[in-house]
């Protein structure tokens, strides 16, 4: 379905729209409070991308907020299908982000998903996917979404203890498909950017993005901001990780890491259920009680 046709259907159904100079958010009327908050957040995040990373975004971003799984699938442009488990999708060529709302996925951290997809969209539009390393794409979006939780720390500590750090070159064009490898890749990408900021200053990422945007290869761009070749830079990064995670590893130990991973999963389920209950209470207080026939995922 064309996005304009979907928007027309929304409007005929009495949908809500909030607009500012950088963003337009479209949702059902009963999602108006969330839509307003997301519009403000997206505007602020775009400003942050400009100020911190030098990423200038052209045009207004359209954000479609779907209140049920079927609406989420229908909102994808040209009838394209996306995984049912996904929470948001960015379509850079259309300046479009489609998100599930709390109604479609109770307990979902919608603001964090928005920041993550916004990072992907802006990077893709700036680079047109050329010279954009996967570790930068994923690492930067995680930083924008403040996605630095304990699960990332556990994955990073586990990789350090097992000698499982992945060479940067292997994270340039893609990530491993196995679970442990993927967790390591995401954690390593996040902490590599943290290392660059800590070691070479807050402007390091902006300079890195500038060099890449001008067509420099990742190895060349990293040399220009650090003065080091990739092998030496990786050694510095490893030393930085060891200093950062040594106390964490001494306290937990190798066996405890796996137990902690399971506990994190359990805690995540509990937090999600509590967040869902809290959000439902807020809806009731605002007089926006969810429809009884709403789909759940």
pLDDT in tens, 237-247: 999 998 888 65
For domain 3-108, give the CATH superfamily: Collagenase ColT, N-terminal domain (3.40.30.160)
Could you tell me the pTM of the whole model?
0.70
Residue 270: per-residue pLDDT:
55
pLDDT of residue 297: 33
* Contacts of 144 by beta carbon, 8 Å cutoff, 6+ apart: 45, 48, 49, 115, 116, 118, 119
User: If you average pLDDT over residues 118-139, what whole number do you get?
Assistant: 84
* pLDDT tens by residue, 69-125: 999 999 999 888 898 889 999 999 999 999 999 889 888 999 999 999 999 899 888
Could you read off the pLDDT of 278-292 as tens digits, one per residue? 544 444 444 333 333
Confidence at residue 152, expressed as pLDDT on a 0 to 100 scale: 85
10 Å CB burial of residue 213 (0-12, 13-18, 19+) is middle
Q: What is the pLDDT of residue 296?
A: 29
| Domains of the chain, residue spans | 3-108, 134-284
- In terms of DSSP H, where are the helices of the chain? 3-12, 32-53, 69-74, 110-127, 134-144, 150-162, 179-200, 204-213, 218-226, 230-286
pLDDT of residue 124: 86
pLDDT above 80: residue 256:
no
| Six token digits for residue 157 | 């500590």
């Amino acid at each position: 379905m064309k996005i304009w046709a979907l928007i027309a259907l929304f409007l005929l159904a009495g949908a809500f729209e909030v607009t500012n100079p950088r963003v337009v958010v479209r949702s059902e009327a009963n999602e108006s409070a969330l839509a307003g908050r997301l519009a403000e957040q997206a505007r602020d995040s775009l400003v942050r991308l400009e100020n911190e990373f030098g990423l200038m975004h052209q045009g207004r971003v359209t954000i479609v907020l779907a209140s049920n799984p079927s609406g989420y699938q229908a909102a994808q442009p040209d009838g394209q299908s996306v995984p049912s488990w996904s929470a948001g999708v960015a379509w850079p060529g259309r300046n479009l982000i489609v998100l599930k709302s709390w109604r479609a996925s109770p307990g979902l951290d919608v603001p964090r998903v928005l920041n993550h997809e916004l990072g992907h969209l802006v990077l893709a539009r700036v680079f047109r996917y050329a010279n954009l390393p996967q570790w930068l794409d994923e690492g930067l979006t995680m930083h924008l979404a403040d996605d630095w939780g304990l699960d990332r720390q556990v994955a990073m500590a586990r990789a350090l203890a097992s000698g499982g750090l992945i060479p940067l070159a292997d994270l340039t064009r893609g990530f491993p498909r196995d679970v442990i490898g993927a967790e390591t890749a995401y954690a390593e990408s996040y902490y590599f950017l943290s290392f660059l900021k800590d070691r070479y200053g807050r402007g390091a990422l902006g300079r890195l993005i500038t060099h890449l945007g001008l067509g420099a290869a990742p190895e060349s761009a990293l040399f220009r901001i650090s003065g080091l070749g990739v092998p030496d830079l990786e050694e510095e990064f490893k030393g930085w990780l060891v200093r950062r995670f040594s106390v964490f590893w001494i306290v937990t130990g190798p066996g405890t890491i796996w137990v902690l991973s399971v506990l994190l999963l359990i805690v995540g389920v509990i937090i999600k259920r509590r967040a869902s209950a809290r959000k439902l209470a807020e809806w009731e207080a605002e007089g926006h009680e969810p429809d009884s026939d709403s789909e759940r995922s």
